[in-house]
Amino acid sequence: MRARLIRLYAVLAVLNLAAWGAAMLLFDRPALWALALTAYGLGLRHSVDADHIAAIDNATRKLMQRGHRPVAVGLFFALGHSTVVMLAVLAVAAMAGAASSRFAALKDVSGLIGTSVSVLFLFAMAAVNFFILCSIWRSWRRLRSGESLPAGALAEGPLEGRGPVARTLRPLFRLVTKSWHMFPVGFLFGLGFDTATEVTLLGLAAGQAMNGLSLWSILVLPFLFAAGMSLVDATDGVLMVGAYDWALLDPARRLGYNLVVTLASIVVAVVVGGVEAMGIAAERFDLAGPVWTVVHVLDDHSGLIGAAIVGLFGLTWLVALLRAQRKRRVALTFH
């Protein structure tokens, strides 16, 4: 695990150093340095959007349940997402005039595809984690009734049986079975261009292309964006692995924590996916009213929701850790 984390952060270090090295080499004016900082900041900000947090958490939770330690889930998701941004900036820079005039139509089509994929993936992961929740709940009931759990009870997939439900849902459970499978998921998520950060970055690229900045210099902007986003998304995935790994070390004692966090993962995926789905409906059918106003507000503040989700999981982990330490001290006192 330690070696894998070292390799992961070595890759992130190289990516970030290369991005800033390219900026130092190609940017020779204070105004361009300001653009570089803006692009990097947009990447950091975009990484805490609610759909990023929900996708990384639910995929990590699902892979951990199968006995993996998927430390690179967040990195591959970010790289897939960044690939779309890089290609879009390349197109805008190469054909600044024509591309900018057609960007609204392109954004409309790709936005529907990207957001629809996001909604479907989040709901699929919520469904998978629901069956994981049922498995944990059965184990918890057995412990409460005084039975002992077999070794590795919580490391087995909940759909390994031969019943009709298991056979029907097994393909869904296999949707993401390795960390790198999150690359195409991130790519499809990125097709939306439905956040202010991505639109702002494309606007910066188009503006600099029209001002005569070279293509290589313009590509530094999405490179910096990708470096910032990958750093936070990868760290988010690592923290999720740490939290779930801690919970699975002693299933008999920390089963309650596992139950709460799995339930939270499902709720997060359903809420974020539901807001995105309602956002599509509101935009396509021009829906208005108090409910749709709330949907628009939530959709426009995806970053704040994502930060709140991270805070929720962090708080849950902290409370569980403090409770475990308290129980340990009480046990030692009585011993």
Question: How confident is the model at residue 162, as a pLDDT?
Answer: 44
| The pair of three-digit structure tokens given for residue 240, joined into one six-digit string | 């999720």
Which of 35-44, 133-142, 224-233, 326-335 comes out lowest in average pLDDT?
326-335
DSSP secondary structure, 256-302, as one string? HHHHHHHHHHHHHHHHHHHHHHHHHHHHHHT--SHHHHHHHHHHHTH
Percent of the chain with pLDDT over 70: 67
Rounded Cα distance between 314 and 239, Å, is: 9
Closest of 195, 168, 180 to residue 68, by C-alpha: 180
Task: Give the single-character DSSP code of 318.
Answer: H
Residues 6+ apart with CB under 8 A from 155: 65, 66, 67, 248
Q: Choose the most confident range, by mean pLDDT, from 47-61, 94-108, 143-157, 227-241.
A: 227-241
Distances in whole angstroms, Cα of residue 297 to Cα of each of 215, 240, 268, 279, 304: 36, 28, 17, 10, 11
Range of the domain at 156: 2-334
Q: Choose the most confident range, by mean pLDDT, from 11-15, 142-146, 148-152, 313-317.
A: 11-15
Residue 290 has pLDDT above 70, yes or no: yes
Average pLDDT of the segment spanning 191-205: 61
Amino acid at the residue 138: R
268 by Cβ neighbours in 10 Å (0-12 / 13-18 / 19+) ranks as buried
Closest of 109, 262, 259 to residue 194, by C-alpha: 109
Residue 7 has pLDDT above 70, yes or no: yes
Rounded Cα distance between 267 and 23, Å, is: 41
Average pLDDT of the segment spanning 214-225: 84
Residue 79 has pLDDT above 90, yes or no: yes
Helices 73-94 and 50-65 pack at an angle, to 10 degrees, of 140
Average pLDDT of the segment spanning 182-189: 86
Question: How confident is the model at residue 188, as a pLDDT?
Answer: 81
Which of 187-201, 205-219, 302-316 comes out lowest in average pLDDT?
187-201
- Specify the 3-state DSSP secondary structure of 332: helix
Residues 6+ apart with CB under 8 A from 207: none
**Number of domains present in the structure of the chain:** 1
pTM attached to this predicted model: 0.70
Chain segment 154-176, per-residue pLDDT in tens: 444 444 444 444 455 455 556 77
Average pLDDT of the segment spanning 82-89: 84
Residue that is written with structure tokens 């890089």 in the block: 86
Closest of 195, 184, 219, 197 to residue 88, by C-alpha: 219
Rounded Cα distance between 239 and 181, Å, is: 19
Residue 84 has pLDDT above 60, yes or no: yes
Q: Choose the most confident range, by mean pLDDT, from 69-83, 107-121, 212-226, 308-322.
A: 69-83
Residue 251 has pLDDT above 80, yes or no: no
| The pair of three-digit structure tokens given for residue 87, joined into one six-digit string | 């290609």
